[in-house]
Structure 1
Amino acid sequence: MLTTRNPQQHQQKLREEFLNAKREKKLRNRDAAAAIGISEGEAMAACVGFEAIRLLPRFVELFEEVPLLGAVMALTRNDSVVHEKDGAYQKMSHNGEVGLALGEVIDLRIFYKQWRFACAVIEEITRGPETSLQKSLQFYDLHGEAVHKVFLREHSDHAAFDALVARWRDPEQLPGMTAEPLPPATIDTADAEIDVEGFRSAWQSMTDTHQFFGLLRDFGVSRPQALRLAPPQFVRQVDNSATRKILEQAAASALPIMVFVGNRGMIQIHSGAVSNVKIMGPWLNVLAPGFNLHLREDMIASSWVVSKPTSDGEVTSLELFDHDGNTIAMLFGVRKPGQPELPAWRAAVMSLPLKSNEISEEAQA
């Protein structure tokens, strides 16, 4: 098993260091864990027996009971962005270790194979002069990184939460987990070794955006490499201010968009309007009713407008990558299968400014 229990004395020391970092430096759990050199999953596992309750690792059955909690807040993040949605989990299903939640508000693609540790967390939080208990379900991968969190609101079904935790409580409430080191950044295959002409032909033959994943696999290319090698008419590298511009434009015009944020074990999707776009230091925020997005603009290494052929016409996305080539987020116009892309969305993304060095190259042409 990948999840193991370390000696209790060591776990107690980790918990004390973690809580001290939270309290003295006023850090969130993820940052407090990083401050003492461990993953957030390891920190929460060290709190088993106190703030955290270890849950049985029967992730599919456990997670598909989340609809019992009523309206909650769903949180999915990666290193660069946090995606939060208020609503109820609905229409949950799975096929093997791949799951779906297709509710009107909470829309998830779930990859249970990556999940390794689950816990219920009950901790005191202070807002202004008031202190209250915050209840959540938290799920971590084999590296101790958060896959997904479910936070109860005041109006959630707290009795259902208590019953779910009692039902899925691990009889062995021993603290600790061993997190595997993060894998090194993937090194792309040399462009000269890629069948670029075959790849470009296959791109132009797509009839569904989901075929793109198979395209990457079949030709052995990473997503950023695929955009570099794509048929030129289907990609435009744009300035890294593009996300800010498109969110502000969508908010001003009530343009409905889709925002995808994911990690190894989860993709969470917002579909609808956005509003209240705010800049706070390096953070680009959407603070809309029922949907919050917090994105570190300084972590965007490249931004691309990407078009993919489908049977419904071309579908256009704005795709963001970090310095290691990991996907930060993807934005689309709201659409359903069988429907063409919103003309207003396509016009908006096509109006985004090109990356500055491309502008200068075009000016010299």
Structure 2
Amino acid sequence: MLTSTQAICNDAQQLRLDFLRAKNERQLRNRDAAAAIGVSEGEAIAACVGVEATRLIPNFIELFEQVPQLGPVLALTRNDSAVHEKDGNYQNMSHNGQVGMALGEAIDLRIFYQQWGFACAVIEEISRNAKQVTQKSLQFYDRHGRAVHKVFLREHSNHDAFDSLVFRWRDPDQSPGMTVAALPPAVAEKADAEIDVERFRAAWNGMHDTHQFFGLLRDFGVTRTQGLRLAPVQCARRVGNDAARTLLQQTAAAALPIMVFVGNPGMIQIHSGPVGNIKLMGPWLNVLDPAFNLHLREDLIDSSWAVSKPTSDGVVSSLELFDRDGQTIAMLFGVRKPGQAELPAWREAVMRLPPISSTSSAEKQS
């Protein structure tokens, strides 16, 4: 009779075989291969522990703050609708409790370690430019098996440092598999009638820092999209879901530096600078620049908002994109530093975006 541990290992081994078969036979990426067999990506990768993957000790803060040793790498953060990739070095890493930051010139992160649940190093053979190459990465997942963040080595990365890091952080438990927690139920939105809208609008107008917006939503018990609907007049306008394409194309043509935020519950990754090569490929809107790639599923954007928030440095304008569940897909801002006003050209570009009433009737009904 099999012990429970043996049964779990056997299940994980079968899961790994199913995952690799879906990946190789159908030429799928890891995330899509996992979805094809009905599991999260974290579960699929954890099933590969002992072969392609090495389980790492889940002391996430100390482990992750050693990533700068790897030198220049690719940082990847995603959610269901957008992927954000930056080439560069991890620098100036710090934390306060379970919240961390990386403030490098290229790689700029806001980190929420309390959401992390599983870490591993992955070494796998992939096809690149019609050649088989060895790809090394550090991968981090939340307790639900969703990818939080990945660090991919480049040819010119410090591979010896990677090997040393994996050796130092190798978990004594190298049994395959992970137990994932069920996703929490969606938070029900309050009825607008239950919210003191006048006080909410007064508090909005009283902000002096964009970071106060999170506290404002929490204090009034409203979701982000509900807060935008209830915003003071002229502070939030619903615009067409082609607005991100319009802004990216316009800022690329003008060489206007922008900030692009993409995140998930465990990580926010930020690009600051110009964008150049904007490409449409099926449902994907892409930025394909040498050190920054953005891949955005336009068909998964449920609503887009042009937003103005007051700060001590003047009004800050943004474009904010949401999926059908009201989750943030991405946010676009103009580049600015604390103490500086935003660029007038950026504000004008956001203000020129046409409201939803002048876009297609199909989008009105979405």
Range class of TM-score, shorter chain: over 0.9
CA contact (8 A) 1:64 1:92 kept: yes
- Aligned counterpart, 1:351: 352
CA distance in 2 between partners of 1:290 and 1:122 (Å): 23
CA contact (8 A) 2:203 2:216 kept: yes
CA contact (8 A) 2:87 2:107 kept: yes
- Report the 3-state secondary structure (helix = DSSP H, G, I; strand = E; otherwise coil) of the residue aligned with 1:189: coil
* Cα distance per residue 1:140-191 (max 9 Å; x no partner): 0011000000000000000000000000000110111111122233221110
CA contact (8 A) 1:99 1:109 kept: yes
- Aligned counterpart, 1:9: 10
- Aligned counterpart, 1:257: 258
Q: How does 1:1-365 map to 2 (within 5 A)?
A: 7-356=8-357
CA distance in 1 between partners of 2:231 and 2:309 (Å): 10
CA distance in 2 between partners of 1:6 and 1:244 (Å): 50
* Cα distance per residue 1:218-263 (max 9 Å; x no partner): 0000000000001012111111110000000011110000000000
* Cα offset, 1:5, TM superposition: 9.7
CA distance in 2 between partners of 1:139 and 1:269 (Å): 18
CA distance in 1 between partners of 2:129 and 2:358 (Å): 47
* Cα offset, 1:126, TM superposition: 1.2
* Cα offset, 1:139, TM superposition: 0.1
One-letter identity of the residue aligned with 1:338: G
Which runs of 5 or more structure 2 residues have no equivalent in the other structure? 362-366
Q: Which moved more, 1:228-237 or 1:82-91?
A: 228-237
- Report the 3-state secondary structure (helix = DSSP H, G, I; strand = E; otherwise coil) of the residue aligned with 2:234: helix
CA distance in 2 between partners of 1:310 and 1:7 (Å): 54
One-letter identity of the residue aligned with 1:146: A
CA contact (8 A) 1:5 1:177 kept: no
One-letter identity of the residue aligned with 1:145: R
* Cα offset, 1:320, TM superposition: 0.2
Which runs of 5 or more structure 1 residues have no equivalent in the other structure? 361-365
- Aligned counterpart, 2:364: none
CA contact (8 A) 1:70 1:89 kept: yes
CA distance in 2 between partners of 1:269 and 1:129 (Å): 31
CA distance in 2 between partners of 1:125 and 1:356 (Å): 47
- Report the 3-state secondary structure (helix = DSSP H, G, I; strand = E; otherwise coil) of the residue aligned with 2:182: coil
Alignment TM-score, normalising by the size of structure 1: 0.96
* Cα offset, 1:6, TM superposition: 6.8
* Cα offset, 1:18, TM superposition: 0.2
CA distance in 2 between partners of 1:352 and 1:37 (Å): 40
Alignment TM-score, normalising by the size of structure 2: 0.96
CA distance in 2 between partners of 1:250 and 1:75 (Å): 23
- Report the 3-state secondary structure (helix = DSSP H, G, I; strand = E; otherwise coil) of the residue aligned with 1:240: coil
Relative to structure 1, the CA distance from residue 358 to residue 189 in structure 2 (aligned partners, 3 Å threshold; closer, same or farther) is: farther
Q: Report the aligned-residue RMSD.
A: 1.3
One-letter identity of the residue aligned with 1:309: P
One-letter identity of the residue aligned with 2:108: D
CA contact (8 A) 2:251 2:257 kept: yes
* Cα offset, 1:128, TM superposition: 3.7
